[in-house]
Amino acid sequence: MHPTPSLPALLAGAALALSAFVAQAQAPAPAAPAAEPYGIALEGYPYPYPVAYLPVSIEGRALRLAYMDVAPTGRARNRTVVLFHGRNFPSSYWQPVIAALAADGYRVVVPDQVHFGKSSKPDELPASFDVMAAHTAQLLDHLKVDKVDAVAHSMGSMAATRFTRTFPARVNRLVLAGPVGLEDYRQYVQPVPRERLVEQEMNLTPEAYYTQLVNTYNPQLTREQFWPFIEVRARTMGSAEYPRWVRSYVNSFYAMWGQPVVHEFHLVRQPTLILVGTRDRTATGRAFAPPELRERMGLLVDRAREVAARMPDAKVDVFENYGHMLHLEAPERFNRAVLQFLAAS
């Protein structure tokens, strides 16, 4: 039979237990394990629809073009829409638009152009809108699609415009949202050394990247809504091949700066809808322009109206108080505008 502990001993034991409990409660929680890095072709990052790959080439180099091919979920219209992504986003960010188009009966083809998303990252090869146009046509041939409607965002507007100019018989209607390329950036920005761009991108932290995109695009989205796009790059930073990703990514700057399409818009015969937000001031290389020229860049509403006035059949839809990411900032209005425009043919 064990002796009954004395009251002082009981109090001392209780105090010791309480002290241990308090210490445990005040101790910092164990750090969450670091997220697994993504590969530079976004291995490990899920897309909203199945991804397939088409063998393509540039200058004899064998590459892969990733794409989603989404069947209509509504009554089929026997029409196909191709979506052209922007520079800082994988094609998966089109998910709300894909769903709306598919529900309205469209087949939706969504490639990641080479240098982007889940496609190859040939850092030694330049990015080219002519190549993007050719790869898009090759993909449509592979899918046995003759004619499409083209819907594009940001840098994708330059690729879609070049595709429309190169293969006019294959495009029914053209939509340009938050378009980059409404001006010739060489008029404002001198050539920027490649080494400077690579160093700048390599030094970006996730927080700095977030700040850069917010300052550039002025998206009317909360931090929580926009951060997933930052996380994609943040987790890619953990890849051993991240320096190659950066070099491939930098190549696209020179395409946007040095391959203008603004001089071609008057030759586009297809009905065209240009969607712009009044808070959007996106312009390639604006940060490198002299201060006296910087404020003249990225006046998207003015430039869109000028471009549309030179085109045979174009109109501008202005989104008041919205920024660069219209299909995410105002999804219902964006989808309604696009669907009504496409249905008018």
pLDDT digits (tens, 9 = 90+) for 265-308: 999 999 999 999 999 999 999 999 999 999 999 999 999 999 99
In a domain, 17, yes or no: no
Average pLDDT over every residue of 232-250: 97
In a domain, 293, yes or no: yes
Average pLDDT over every residue of 102-131: 98
- Give residue 35's pLDDT: 83
- Give residue 318's pLDDT: 98
**The tokens 């290389």 sit on which residue?**
285
When mean pLDDT is compared across 22-31, 255-264, 266-275, 315-324, the lowest value belongs to: 22-31
- Give residue 345's pLDDT: 79
In a domain, 186, yes or no: yes
Average pLDDT over every residue of 48-65: 97
- Give residue 4's pLDDT: 43
Q: Is the pLDDT of residue 6 over 90?
A: no
When mean pLDDT is compared across 9-18, 99-108, 116-125, the lowest value belongs to: 9-18
- Give residue 270's pLDDT: 98
Q: Is the pLDDT of residue 207 over 50?
A: yes
In a domain, 2, yes or no: no
- The CATH number given to whatever domain includes residue 309 is 3.40.50.1820
In a domain, 303, yes or no: yes
Return the axis-axis angle of helices 242-258 and 194-202, rounded to nearest 10°.
130
Domain that holds residue 83: 69-107+147-343
Average pLDDT over every residue of 51-58: 98
In a domain, 320, yes or no: yes
Average pLDDT over every residue of 81-99: 98
pTM of the model: 0.90
When mean pLDDT is compared across 33-47, 87-101, 274-288, 323-337, the lowest value belongs to: 33-47
- Give residue 83's pLDDT: 99
The structural domain count of the chain equals 1
Average pLDDT, the chain: 92
**The tokens 């008018």 sit on which residue?**
344
- Give residue 29's pLDDT: 43
Q: Is the pLDDT of residue 26 over 50?
A: no
- Give residue 34's pLDDT: 64
In a domain, 8, yes or no: no
In a domain, 184, yes or no: yes
Average pLDDT over every residue of 43-63: 97
Average pLDDT over every residue of 201-230: 96
